[in-house]
Amino acid sequence: MIATILRRARLLAVPVGLLLLASGVLASPASAHASLVSTSPGDGEVLAEAPAEISLTFTESVRLTDGIELLTGDGTAVSVDVSASDEVVTLTPEAPLTDGTYIVGWRVISADSHPIAGGLSFSVGSPSATTVEIPTVDAPRDVDLLRKTAEAARYGGLLIATGLLPFGLLVAGPAVRDSPTARRRLLRTGGLAAAVAVLAALALAPLTTLWQNATALNGIGTVVVDGSTWRTETGAAALLLAAALGVAALTVRRAPAVAVASAAVAVGSLAVVGHTRTFGPVPLVLAADVLHTIAAALWAGGLVGLVLLLTAGRAVRAAHVQQAVRRFSALALVSFAVLVVSGGVLWWRVPATVRDLPDTSYGVHLIVKVVLVGAIVLIAAWNLRHLRTHRTVDLTVLRRTVAAEVTIVAVVTAVTAGLVTQVPRAAETVPASAASAPAELDLDLGGGTTATLVLTPGGVGTNSAQLTVTDADGNPVTAIEPPQVSVGIEEFELGPFRHELVEVSPGSYEGSIDLPIAGSWRIEVGVRTSTYERPSDSAVLEVAE
């Protein structure tokens, strides 16, 4: 029986290849969910002269929203030109800044489509007597709720629609050929699920734009007709899903292999947006994500297919139902193995450590999902034991257990929809560690020239950097261009990120450096002492939480 299923499963070889190719082409790699690395001026810095521009440097390229503003200490908006170049966002005041405190509020879009926001303040001359709080802008609750609902509907509809197709071909073939009722039930349910998936995906594109820009729901009409909405990753994923399921619907009767290929591409549309695009190595993570979703579709769609056969009454022969149940049990076993392996790969590359899971929204969603899937596995194991010990399947008992599995799968789908909207690992906001002691690194630049780099407070968050460069006799060394400090952490594939320091006196330089997460940071200092010489040295700094 397993050999028959595997032989028929060769139909999936081409669509799976197309799926991996499509997801690889449409998804662009990135380092991780974006985090703010540094700002100029630094947060809380007091400047003697007004800066010509304010810059924010992130760990990866970001997209702008309307949520970037510069305010005076009393909350008055300052006119600025905002631009983004790769990972740097620049605010250029239209008029010179006067003395006082200024507040920057920012909201940008990370590579995984999630908005990130924050703020900072700095002063020119001397701080203002009173200042407003740094503005924070959150998406309206109704927009966020509708977006999550659309996400769940897209996942649920897509898993059922794409899972029912191979179920009808590989598992329930005899029942479908013998019973018009079974065939009609599978086609109608699959068509309805596909329609739900398409409508939800198309609704998700404008809702995501509203969520990213923290815009009210009454602006959805403007967003829908805006062409840029459909040129985003979410818009492209929606159009791909709609087109692929449309082709599958048109070819399911006469060209089932084409329909399966199109369904596989529709599943691949989920990989166009999300966390797996932003963690590496990209080919491995994307392949694991695609296989994980295919296995979930085979399992979820198969369970729904079994319910349709089990509740068809005498319209479907009992022998055909029992045959479908036994075939699905074999296919579900393979699907579970793929789920475990691919899930393990995703766990290895995407989330935080086990210790961190209960402290993050992403981790809580993941724990709930694993527990629910464990419950499904227990029910499925009981069913498999029942099948192996009884020649005749008790359809009454099977209806109850399969119905329980389908119910739990529905909850898992909702949890998964919430999971993909959460921020894993480096995405969590990490506060600066005020209790950390300053970190001091002594570096040998060669030829008797040494450098001492002091980071304060020396922990996670924004650190002020003081660099002192001296020659063999202890005299200050003046660089012919601003010294550069590069920081990176190999464990999370972040960096290196380069920072220029400003000369405050001969041989002394200052600036700010952000260390957004805990870990072993490789810090390299390079000082150009002549046109042809730029000595450098590096050291590892252990940054605790």
pLDDT tens-place string over residues 301-319: 888 888 888 787 777 787 8
AA identity, residue 545: E
* Residue 221 exposed, middle or buried by CB count within 10 Å (0-12, 13-18, 19+): exposed
Rounded alpha-carbon distances, angstroms, from residue 251 to 9, 248, 265, 518: 18, 5, 14, 52
Q: Please say whether the structural domain 36-124 has been given the CATH code 2.60.40.1220.
A: yes
Split at pLDDT 50, 70, 90, the class of 545 is low
Does residue 229 register a pLDDT over 90?
no
Neighbouring residues of 221: CB distance < 8 A, sequence distance ≥ 6: none
CA gap 207, 272 in Å, rounded:
17
Neighbouring residues of 396: CB distance < 8 A, sequence distance ≥ 6: none
CA gap 109, 62 in Å, rounded:
5
Q: Which residue matches tokens 């399992």?
A: 299
**CATH 2.60.40.1930 in the chain, residues?**
439-543
At the top level of CATH, which class does the domain 439-543 belong to?
mainly beta
**pLDDT per residue as tens digits for the range 332-377:** 778 888 878 877 777 666 654 555 566 566 666 667 777 777 776 7
Amino acid 284: pLDDT: 78
* Residue 140 exposed, middle or buried by CB count within 10 Å (0-12, 13-18, 19+): middle
Amino acid 363: pLDDT: 64
**pLDDT per residue as tens digits for the range 379-400:** 767 666 665 665 665 666 666 7
Amino acid 201: pLDDT: 92
**CATH 2.60.40.1220 in the chain, residues?**
36-124
Q: Which residue matches tokens 């529905």?
A: 410
Top pLDDT among 76 and 31 is at 76
Range among 104-113, 187-196, 320-329, 465-474 rated most confident: 187-196
Contact 541, 456 (CB under 8 A): no
Does residue 28 register a pLDDT over 60?
no
Rounded alpha-carbon distances, angstroms, from residue 302 to 196, 259, 260, 298, 381: 18, 17, 15, 6, 16
Mean pLDDT of 261-287: 75
Top pLDDT among 10 and 409 is at 409
Mean pLDDT of the chain: 77
Q: What is the pTM for the complete model shown?
A: 0.62
Amino acid 151: pLDDT: 87
Mean pLDDT of 218-225: 88
Amino acid 436: pLDDT: 45
CA gap 341, 200 in Å, rounded:
29
Percent of all residues in the chain with a pLDDT value above 70, rounded to a whole number: 77
Amino acid 498: pLDDT: 83
Top pLDDT among 254 and 199 is at 199
Contact 238, 204 (CB under 8 A): yes
Structure tokens at 420: 């993909």
Of 436, 480, 435, the residue nearest 454 (C-alpha): 436
Amino acid 193: pLDDT: 92
Percent of all residues in the chain with a pLDDT value above 90, rounded to a whole number: 9
